[in-house]
Amino acid sequence: MGRKIIATAAFLGFTGIILGAFGAHGLQKIVEAKDVATFETGVKYQVYHALFLLFIGNTSFIAEKTKKAILWLTVVGVVFFSVSIYLLALNSKLPFDFKPFGWITPIGGLLLILAWVVLFLNILKRKQ
């Protein structure tokens, strides 16, 4: 499980860096400044959660079953939160209107929060 989590963290990390570079150097030429800022929010949360998964994959404080739950909450959360933010930021350049699907973003945020809550509760209930 640790290898899978760390590989996922690496994927989220390198794609986050690529998207961040795109946002900083290419996106400002095609969308408004507010959309660039929105895009950067998605990048930040993707990279934060890549680092989170690196910790989860390398810690012995958490049971494998809990690690698996945290992995899935985080991956689905990043896809719903960050990817939907990317699409909303690029909405004016997309061939379809993504705004009606904007309700996905807060669900992704909730899943990311739940991943942290699962970690918190697991640490609290852990015996010394």
Residue span of the structural domain in which 70 resides? 2-125
CA distance 70 to 117: 9
Domain count, the chain: 1
Mean pLDDT over all residues of the chain?
A: 94
Please name which of 85, 82, 71 lies closest in space to residue 114, comparing C-alpha atoms. Answer: 71
Q: Where does the pLDDT of residue 29 fall: very low under 50, low under 70, confident under 90, or very high at 90 and above?
A: confident
Residue 61 carries which side chain, given as an amino acid letter? F
How far are the Cα atoms of 2, 49, 61, 66, 106 from residue 57, in angstroms, in the given order? Answer: 4, 12, 10, 11, 26
Select from 10, 19, 13, 14 the least CA-distant residue to 40. 19
Average pLDDT over residues 71-94: 95
Tokens 């969308």 correspond to 31
Q: Name the 3-class secondary structure at 40.
A: helix
pLDDT in tens, 2-27: 899 999 999 999 999 999 999 888 89
Q: Report d(CA 73, CA 67) in Å as an integer.
A: 10
Q: Are 83 and 17 in contact (CB under 8 A)?
A: no
pLDDT of residue 128: 64
What pTM does this model have? 0.93
